[in-house]
């Protein structure tokens, strides 16, 4: 197969530019390697996804059986790439193939679902959740689950979608011992905090590795509404001390000084 200085094939270029007729001709000639990687380990499918060439993607998937779990030099799979670029139709096409690994981790252990969550792409998150094969509790290299990532970013709608599955572990702790509630409390996302509390399953007293509870973080950051929401549960151990011997009350007092 002929390649240029970037190790790109004619099929790679035709796929990127969206020349469906040319792509079809090359595939029918049986000389084109549909999975031939270029200098950056990027296949024709990669380039078609980046440019949103839906027709070409369909051809590569249905006619040529392109590898849907191929990773580029950045560790991105076609599915992860489609998520990052907000290609909803292409995500759907990939999921319908049935051969795509929805839980395949990329760089830093990030799954396609986690990427969709961080980007706040609600429709794509819904597509993943509808597959029923996606692991909603799979953490990244820092142990952060999709729910925690949604809480950190304050994506209320995404948090709601995840909780609605009934499959998420609301008390999952990352490598720092932080939970979704802990992150939402620190950031002052009262709507997210409220959603988590409404599950009735969240542990409001879980400490992180620094000995801080969600209330400690809310008090330290001066988030009045979140503090009231947490106190309103009636389940708080208000005088719990962190690793520095401080309670939420003393942290709040320091902030006012």
Q: What is the per-residue pLDDT across 42-72, written as a single tens digit (0 to 9) for each?
A: 999 999 999 999 999 999 999 888 999 999 9
pLDDT over 70 percentage in the chain: 92
pLDDT at 253 (0 to 100): 56
Calpha distance 26→32 (Å, rounded): 6
> What does pTM read for this prediction?
0.89
Average pLDDT over residues 182-200: 99
Helix/strand/coil for 61: helix
Calpha distance 153→162 (Å, rounded): 14
pLDDT at 242 (0 to 100): 64
Calpha distance 181→193 (Å, rounded): 6
Residue with tokens 């309103």: 232
The confidence band for 254, taking pLDDT boundaries of 50, 70 and 90, is low
Is the pLDDT confidence value at 239 over 80?
no
Calpha distance 159→180 (Å, rounded): 10
Question: Which token pair is 46?
Answer: 């990669």
Residue with tokens 């959603």: 195
How many helices and strands (H and E) does the chain possess?
A: 15, 0
Question: Which token pair is 34?
Answer: 């549909």
Asked if residue 172 lies in contact with residue 182, where contact means CB atoms within 8 angstroms, the answer is no
Calpha distance 151→161 (Å, rounded): 12
Question: Which token pair is 78?
Answer: 């076609």
Is the pLDDT confidence value at 256 over 60?
no
- 191: phi then psi, degrees, rounded to nearest 5: -65, -40
pLDDT at 80 (0 to 100): 96
User: In 10 A of CB 44, how many CB atoms?
Assistant: 33
């Amino acid at each position: 197969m002929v390649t240029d200085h970037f190790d790109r094939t004619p099929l790679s270029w035709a796929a990127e530019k969206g020349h469906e007729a040319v792509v079809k001709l090359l595939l029918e000639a049986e000389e084109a390697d549909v999975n031939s990687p270029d200098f950056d380990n990027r296949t024709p499918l990669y380039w078609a996804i980046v440019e949103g060439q839906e027709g070409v993607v369909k051809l590569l998937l249905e006619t040529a059986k392109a590898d849907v779990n191929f990773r580029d030099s950045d560790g991105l799979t076609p599915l992860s790439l489609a998520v990052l670029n907000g290609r909803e139709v292409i995500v759907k096409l990939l999921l319908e193939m049935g051969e795509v690994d929805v839980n395949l981790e990329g760089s830093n252990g990030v799954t396609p679902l986690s990427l969709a969550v961080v980007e706040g792409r609600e429709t794509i998150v819904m597509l993943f959740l509808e597959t029923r094969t996606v692991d909603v509790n799979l953490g990244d290299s820092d142990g952060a689950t999709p729910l925690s990532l949604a809480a950190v970013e304050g994506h209320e709608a995404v948090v709601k979608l995840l909780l609605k599955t009934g499959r998420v572990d609301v008390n999952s702790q990352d490598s720092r011992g932080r939970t979704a509630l802990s992150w939402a409390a620190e950031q002052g996302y009262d709507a997210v905090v409220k959603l988590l509390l409404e599950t009735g399953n969240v542990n409001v007293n879980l400490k992180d590795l620094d000995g801080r509870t969600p209330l400690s973080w809310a008090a330290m950051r001066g988030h009045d509404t979140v503090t009231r929401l947490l106190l309103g549960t009636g389940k708080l151990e208000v005088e719990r001390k962190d690793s520095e011997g401080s309670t939420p009350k003393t942290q709040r007092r320091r902030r006012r000084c």
